[in-house]
Structure 1
Amino acid sequence: MESRTKQKIRYETAENRAEQKIRYETAENRAEQKMRYQTAESRTEQKNPEGSQTLQIQAPGAVLMEASTGQIIYEKNADERRSPASITKIMTLILIFDAIDAGKIRLDDEVVTSAHAKSMGGSQVFLEEGEIQTVETLIKCIVIASGNDASVAMAEYISGSEAAFVQSMNERAKGLGMTGTHFVDCCGLTESPEHLTTARDIAVMSRELITKYPQIHNYSTIWMENITHVTKQGSREFGLSNTNRLLKMATNYRVTGLKTGSTSMAKYCLSATAEKDGVRLIAVIMAAPDYKARFADAQILLNYGYANCRLYEDQEMPMLKDMEVRDGVESSVQLQYAGGFSYLGLGGEDFSSIEKKLLLPEALQAPVTKGEKAGVLRYELDGKALGEVDILTAGDVEQAGFSDYLQAVFRVWSLRSE
Structure 2
Amino acid sequence: MIFGGPAAAYAKEPAPAPSPGQNDLAQSARSAILMDADSGTIIYEKNSHEKLPPASITKVMTMLLVMEALDEGRLKLSDKVLTSEYAASMGGSQIFLEPGEEMTVDEMLKGIALASGNDASVAMAEKIAGTESSFVDMMNKRAAELGLKNTHFANANGLPAENHYSSAYDIAVMSRELLKHPEITKYTGMYQDYLRKSSEKPFWLVNTNKLVRFYSGADGLKTGFTSEAKFCLTATALRDGLRVIAVVMGEPNTKTRNAEVSRMLDYSFAQYMNHTIFKKGDVMGTVKVEKGVVPELKLTAKHPYSVLLKKGTPVKDIRYELQLNSLKAPVTVNMPIGKMIVYQGDKPLTEFAVDAPQSVARAGWWKLFKRTCGSLFS
- TM-score where L is the length of structure 2: 0.80
1:204 aligns with 2:173: yes
- 1:61-210 aligned at under 5 Å gives the runs 61-190=31-160, 192-210=161-179
Tell me the percent identity.
39
**Residue 301 (structure 1) aligns with:** 264
Please give the alpha-carbon distance, in whole angstroms, between the structure 2 residues aligned to 1:218 and 1:173. Answer: 24
Deviates more, 1:202-211 or 1:52-61: 52-61
Contact persistence 1:111–1:157 (CA under 8 A): yes
2:315 maps to which residue?
351
**Residue deviations 1:281-327, cap 9 Å, x none?**
1100101011111111110110111111111212599996999x9xx
Aligned-partner Cα distance in 2 for 1:75–1:281: 13
Matched to 1:81, the amino acid is K
1:259 maps to which residue?
222
Aligned ranges 1:295-334 → 2 under 5 Å = 295-315=258-278
| CA–CA separation in structure 2 for the residues paired with 1:321 and 1:102 | 24
One-letter amino acid of the structure 1 residue matched with residue 237 of structure 2: A
The change in CA–CA distance for 1:349 and 1:106 in structure 2 (over 3 A counts) is same
The DSSP-based 3-state class of the residue aligned with 1:74 is: strand
Give the Cα separation in 1 of the matches to 2:314 and 2:35. 22
SS at 2:153's partner residue? coil
* Matching residue of 1:35: none
Matched to 1:342, the amino acid is S
1:172 CA drift (Å): 1.0
Aligned equivalent of 2:194: 226
CA deviation map 1:76-114 (0-9, x unaligned)? 000001111110111111111222222222111112211
Q: Residues 338 and 390 of structure 1 are in contact (CA less than 8 Å); yes or no, is this contact kept in structure 2?
A: no
**3-state DSSP class of the match of 1:202?**
helix
SS of structure 1 residue aligned to 2:33: strand
- Please tell me whether the aligned partners of residues 114 and 206 of structure 2 are also in contact (alpha carbons under 8 angstroms): yes
User: Is the deviation greater in 202-211 or in 371-380?
Assistant: 371-380
Q: Which runs of 5+ in 2 are unaligned?
A: none
Which string of whole-angstrom CA distances, capped at 9 and with x for unpartnered residues, describes residues 349-402 of structure 1? Answer: 1012324568899xx9x9898799999775432432234578999999999xxx
Q: Which amino acid aligns with 2:12?
A: T
Secondary structure of the residue aligned to 2:221 is strand
Secondary structure, counterpart of 2:196 in structure 1 = strand
What is the distance in 1 between the residues matched to 2:179 and 2:189?
A: 12
The equivalent residue for 1:342 is: 306
User: What is the one-letter code of the residue matched to 1:131?
Assistant: E
**Which deviates the most, 123-132 or 48-57?**
48-57
Map 1:235-274 onto structure 2 (within 5 A).
235-250=200-215, 253-274=216-237
In the other structure, the counterpart of 1:281 is: 244
Q: Is the 8 A contact 2:6 2:317 kept in 1?
A: no
CA RMSD, 1 decimal: 3.9
Q: What residue identity is the alignment partner of 1:239? A: W
Assess if the C-alpha contact under 8 Å between 2:37 and 2:243 holds in 1.
Answer: yes
Moved more, 388-397 or 164-173: 388-397
Whether contact under 8 Å (1:207, 1:282) holds in the other structure is: yes
Contact (CA 8 Å) 1:64, 1:72: kept in 2 or not? yes
Aligned residue identity for 2:141: E
Pair 1:109–1:50, CA change in 2 (3 A): same
In structure 2, how many angstroms separate the alpha carbons of the residues matched to 1:351 and 1:283? Answer: 26
What secondary structure sits across from 2:59 in the alignment?
A: helix
**The 10-residue stretch of structure 1 (368-377 or 48-57) with the greater mean CA deviation from structure 2:** 368-377
Please tell me whether the aligned partners of residues 108 and 135 of structure 1 are also in contact (alpha carbons under 8 angstroms). Answer: yes
- SS of the aligned residue for 1:194 comes to coil
**Would you say how many aligned residue pairs link Structure 1 and Structure 2?**
355
Report deviation, 1:208: 0.7
Change (3 A) 1:87 1:130: same
Q: Does 1:217 align with 2:185?
A: yes
Q: 1:291 aligns with which of 254, 260, 284?
A: 254
Deviations 1:153-196 (A, max 9, x none): 11112211111111111111111111101111111112x24111
Measured in 1, the distance between the counterparts of 2:373 and 2:197 equals: 74
- Kindly provide the CA deviation profile for residues 196-231 of structure 1, in whole angstroms up to 9, marking residues without a partner as x: 1000010011111111x111111112111111188x
Please state whether the residue corresponding to 1:296 is helix, strand or coil.
helix
Give the distance between the partners of 2:35 and 2:65, measured in 1 at CA.
22
Matched residue type, 2:267: Y
SS at match of 2:16: coil
Q: Aligned equivalents of 2:284 and 2:137: distance in 1?
A: 45
Letter of the aligned partner of 1:50 in structure 2? P
Aligned to 1:46: 14
Give the Cα–Cα distance (whole angstroms) in 1 for the partners of residues 133 and 373 of structure 2: 62
Under a length normalisation based on structure 1, what TM-score does the superposition of the two structures give?
Answer: 0.73
| 2:103 counterpart SS class | strand
